[in-house]
Structure 1
């Protein structure tokens, strides 16, 4: 299958910009585990979730237990840490062949015409993987959007996070296109003086509201879904593969903070160059527990709230 390139005399001097979505989600989640996969068994690392316990009390000068009771003055508790496993389970890549004829007669700028679309494709693939993790997770709290006043739903999300002791800092919301439209039509969210921001909408960002950081818009999400979460609710791990010794040319690089590898070599049998851009990636959620009244149950995913439109 041949590539299709326009001849120079058929291209307007002012080229149209490529219609492409903003890459939003990877910058909003936890990515500090990216460099820990070397020599990890099963390409998997475990992220420690700290144990929690509850303080007890005793009455001063109170009655002491007798020896027959078999208990001391102090009640001893146990700490139970949990872990989150993240596995590099996918190689996201873009591979393009370029014939000698195309390279000689059609390509005027290899970086713009070949490499840039490849890098962009892999970046969108990473975001799609993260979006699939977010939409497919099981949440302790799922809210239905109040379309008449979506501000109330954001307040409910804030309350749910507060009850679960989710830190106030580094909270954010991200929504699909349909929810963005509903938010922007809301009196609470469209007026700058009420949203607490000097701009109701700029660069895929709705202003701060209801104690959250900026509300972001992502076309990687289904249009009728949104999430309010702490940065540590989701984990995105990635690693640029090693440059093989046999590659004619190879380089590791980052695009919008996303690690990638670029390989380029020549296939003389088919008289063509080959360009490959790829990265290894894995995702997961961070569930908390057991704790408190549900100490005997499985960990709950409380660091994020899912919002759906009816």
Structure 2
């Protein structure tokens, strides 16, 4: 890559595209990405606009009166996270390797940034309005059927909170998917082939959810009064919001090295705004898998 040919906006767009194709928790189908404002650095705030519920009344012939004025609420989301990458490719390596080596390195950077962003977003499970199980008393998924049945319990809890059914999601860790794959109900009707997967990390559907898999599912280690467990997060995108920006990408020649280097900055923030639309199951994996 020649520094003279480096166009920051193009590489920022490529990085963002690679990032979007990797995100699970922070992808638009899982979390609200609509916001107003410009992100230039950590510490900035953006506006999230929400609209109140619409009143439904009984109709009778005649005038309906003045239209209802909907309540709106502007919430502020603070950009708290700032992650960077900074790597170089030696000139001798550049000659010996494929010309696309810098592009491949950018994809690797995007994967690392996505993992950090997903881990940050999933940490907001602590603000969920629905909880099943706890750190001190998690649900042990000892049988394959229990893995699916606990998703049903999460779905019922969301139903009782009048959370929209269309677009619900649940994100599970690999061990939980392994349990579900032993259940004929999931294998027969829930699994998807690669061409049918519309979301990053999607492995199937069931119990009213789009089911996704991620290693960024929060995991709690065992300690005094706490049993090791995974936080299975379910809900609807209206529950939380996320804003991000690739602020800078810069190519340069490091001093004392014959190499091309590239550095970039990714800033973002997240917030739970409707906790009643977010649920978390504290699930303990079976002892035979530990």
- The alignment's TM-score, normalised by the length of structure 2, stands at 0.65
Question: Pick from 268, 273, 282: which aligns with 1:281?
Answer: 268
Structure having the higher Rg = 1
How far is the alpha carbon of 1:113 from its aligned partner? 5.0
Q: Distance in 2 between matches of 1:236 and 1:31?
A: 5
Query: Residue in 1 aligned with 2:160?
Result: 163
Task: State the partner residue of 1:309.
Answer: 283
**In the superposition, relative to structure 1, how do residues 202 and 176 fare at CA in structure 2: closer, same or farther (>3 Å)?**
farther
Contact 2:42–2:82 (Cα < 8 Å) also in 1: no
SS of the counterpart of 2:276?
coil
Q: 1:200 to 1:163 in 2, by over 3 A?
A: farther
Please point out which of 185, 196, 217 is paired with 2:213.
Answer: 217
Q: Matched residue pairs, number?
A: 231
* Structure 1 residues 272-302: Cα deviation after superposition (integer angstroms, max 9, x where no partner): 4321133221111123xxxxxxxxxxxxx11
Alpha-carbon shift at residue 130 of structure 1 (Å): 1.7
Deviation at 1:40, TM superposition (A): 11
Is contact 2:192–2:203 with CA below 8 Å preserved after alignment? no
Higher relative contact order (CA 8 A, sep 6+): 2
Contact 2:80 2:268 in 1 (8 A): yes
* Partner SS for 1:115: helix
Q: Deviations over 1:178-236 (max 9, x none)?
A: 222222223432332xx4x6669986434322222x21111111362211110122222
What is the CA–CA distance in structure 1 between the aligned matches of 2:260 and 2:268, rounded to whole Å? 26
More helix by share: 2
Pair 1:119-2:110 in alignment: yes
Counterpart of 2:176 in structure 1 is 179
Tell me the TM-score normalized by structure 1: 0.62
1:108: how far off? 4.9
Given candidates 133, 137, 153, the residue that maps to 2:124 is 133
In the alignment, which residue of structure 1 is the partner of 2:17?
Answer: none
